[in-house]
């Protein structure tokens, strides 16, 4: 098993994947052979499609699944679409949420609700 085949036949869902660390995580997973469901907010779909185009061909397939993961119905519909496309999900990387540079021990409780 090599780094390029480590995740072959695995499906990864990365939430909040169109910004910050998300594209890097998507790139690493796809480069290791995983099929990647790239989640983004519906308003960020163009940015996510651009990310996929910039990543180019990887060993693993990358598909965009726009949904607001703070909304239960969106999550349900996204999950159904991913299962329809790939059949299963092996890996979940949750990157969705507000970006903040405050140490987590100093975050107000209200900010935790957004995470």
Domain count, the chain: 1
Q: What is the pLDDT of residues 9-33, one digit of tens each?
A: 999 999 999 988 999 999 999 999 9
Q: What is the 3-state secondary structure (H, E, C) of 65-108?
A: EECCCCCHHHHHHHHHHHHHHHCCCCEEEECCCCCCCCCHHHCC
Residue 2 lies inside a defined structural domain of this protein: no
Q: Which tokens go with 23?
A: 């594209």
Residue 5 lies inside a defined structural domain of this protein: no
Q: What is the pLDDT of residues 80-115, one digit of tens each?
A: 999 999 999 999 999 987 777 788 788 888 777 666
15 has which bridge partners?
94
CATH of the domain at 66: 3.40.50.720
Provide the residue range defining the domain that includes 88: 11-114
Residue 108 lies inside a defined structural domain of this protein: yes
Kindly report the pTM of this predicted structure. 0.86
Residue 6 lies inside a defined structural domain of this protein: no
């Amino acid at each position: 098993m090599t780094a390029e085949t480590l995740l072959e036949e695995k499906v990864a869902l990365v939430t909040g994947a169109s910004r910050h660390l998300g594209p890097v995580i998507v790139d690493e997973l796809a480069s290791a052979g995983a099929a990647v469901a790239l989640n983004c907010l519906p308003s960020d779909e163009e940015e996510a499609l651009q990310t996929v185009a910039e990543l180019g061909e990887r060993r693993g397939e990358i598909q965009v699944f726009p949904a607001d993961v703070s909304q239960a119905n969106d999550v349900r519909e996204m999950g159904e679409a991913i299962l329809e496309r790939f059949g299963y999900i092996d890996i979940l990387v949750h990157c969705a949420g507000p970006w903040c540079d405050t140490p987590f021990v100093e975050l107000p409780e209200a900010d935790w609700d957004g995470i």
